[in-house]
Amino acid sequence: MRPSSAHKSHRHAKRELLYTAVREAMIRAGVLSASYKFKVLSLDPRGEQFMVMMDLSQEFGGHVERLAEIEVMIAQSAKSRYNIRVTAVYWRLNELVSVARPAGAPQASQRPTPLRHAGAALAAAALPELAMAALKPSPVVHRYEPIQADEVAAFKQALAAASAQGVSVAEGGAPSRSAPRSYTLLTGFEDTEMPDSPALVPALSATQYGDLN
């Protein structure tokens, strides 16, 4: 097996294990599976480091103080069980992620609300604040929504800044706090990976809407 193929296979396996760690952490935190969705971003070719990006239903908005606790659970579980380093978890409220509502219940705005990065147990290099792109309200027909070009550009810019600064993790140190920020590239469960060839910024995988360039 070629090295690139071996790395890709290893990365896929690690990603599946991280999915398990995230879901189990959310269960332990008492968060219903219908009230969130997430995707993960591999930060190295072998899949040893990841970022987690989470969309929460608006019903979770009153419990934002629990985000730091959940981040710690995700990071510790991934590291201790699977030797996967979760460098950061990013959150936002999104009406498109919703638990079952009674018939006739009023619908809130579909514009996602950015949340504060609560500070992962394994501290990440600071990423610049990303401007949230306005999403046009549309009927919820599919599980996915298109990714806007300015969202792709903003996310790549943040990853480039993180790559330039490097990731610093203090042994046994306390989690670091970072300034308020948000992310913009959460569209569902499609996979996001680094390319096999070296690159400063991880490329985004193909989605049902085509490749992201």
What pLDDT is stored for residue 80 in this prediction? Answer: 96
Evaluate whether residue 203 is within a structural domain. Answer: no
What pLDDT is stored for residue 14 in this prediction? Answer: 95
What pLDDT is stored for residue 131 in this prediction? Answer: 33
Looking at residue 16, its amino acid is E
* Confidence tier at 63 by pLDDT (50, 70, 90): confident
Residues 6+ apart with CB under 8 A from 64: 115, 116, 118
Whether pTM exceeds 0.75 = no
How many domains is the chain built from? 1
Domain that holds residue 24: 1-99+111-130+150-194
- The residue ranking higher by pLDDT, 92 or 158, is 92
Evaluate whether residue 213 is within a structural domain. Answer: no
Please spell the DSSP secondary structure of 86-105, one letter per residue.
EEEEEEEE-TTS-----TTP
Q: Are 51 and 58 in contact (CB under 8 A)?
A: no
Evaluate whether residue 212 is within a structural domain. Answer: no
Q: Are 122 and 169 in contact (CB under 8 A)?
A: yes
Looking at residue 28, its amino acid is R
Evaluate whether residue 172 is within a structural domain. Answer: yes
pLDDT at 141 over 60: no
| Highest-pLDDT range among 45-49, 101-105, 139-143, 186-190 | 45-49
Q: Which strand ranges, in their side-by-side order, compose the sheet holding 113-114? A: 36-42, 49-56, 85-93, 113-114
pLDDT tens track for 13-28: 999 999 999 999 999 9
Evaluate whether residue 143 is within a structural domain. Answer: no
Evaluate whether residue 139 is within a structural domain. Answer: no
pLDDT tens track for 155-167: 666 566 555 554 4
Tokens 């959940």, residue located: 70
Query: Can you tell me the mean pLDDT for 72-90?
Result: 95
Evaluate whether residue 25 is within a structural domain. Answer: yes
Could you give the CA distance from residue 137 to residue 96 in angstroms, rounded to a whole number? 10
What pLDDT is stored for residue 160 in this prediction? Answer: 63
pLDDT more than 70, % of the chain:
43
Evaluate whether residue 210 is within a structural domain. Answer: no
> What's the mean pLDDT when you consider all of the chain?
65
